[in-house]
């Protein structure tokens, strides 16, 4: 994703890149403190979606992660 983001910044700097993950993956891997730190460090934006219900559950930006981790 970081390579894609780098290319996208050069080609289309106004476009916002989100990483889409299923709710199952979010509730396991993305709930780990290490993962939160990585997201905060690289300022990833996430879309959490539910494959069963077929919709977006949550949009998560860097500011949301900062609040979760008390990073200012």
Q: Which helix (H) or strand (E) holds 2?
A: helix 2-11
- Interval 41-67: pLDDT, tens: 888 888 999 999 989 999 887 665 555
Judge contact between 38 and 67, C-beta under 8 A.
Answer: no
Question: Higher model confidence: residue 71 or residue 35?
Answer: 35
pLDDT in tens, 19-34: 899 999 988 998 788 8
Task: Say if residues 35 and 29 touch (Cβ distance below 8 Å).
Answer: yes
Residue 36 has pLDDT above 50, yes or no: yes
């Amino acid at each position: 994703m970081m390579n894609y983001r780098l290319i996208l910044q050069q080609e289309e700097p106004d476009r916002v890149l989100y990483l889409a993950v299923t709710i199952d993956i979010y509730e396991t891997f993305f709930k780990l403190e290490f993962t939160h730190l990585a997201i905060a460090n690289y300022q990833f934006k996430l879309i959490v979606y539910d494959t069963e219900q077929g919709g977006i559950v949550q949009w998560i930006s860097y500011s949301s992660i900062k609040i979760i981790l008390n990073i200012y």
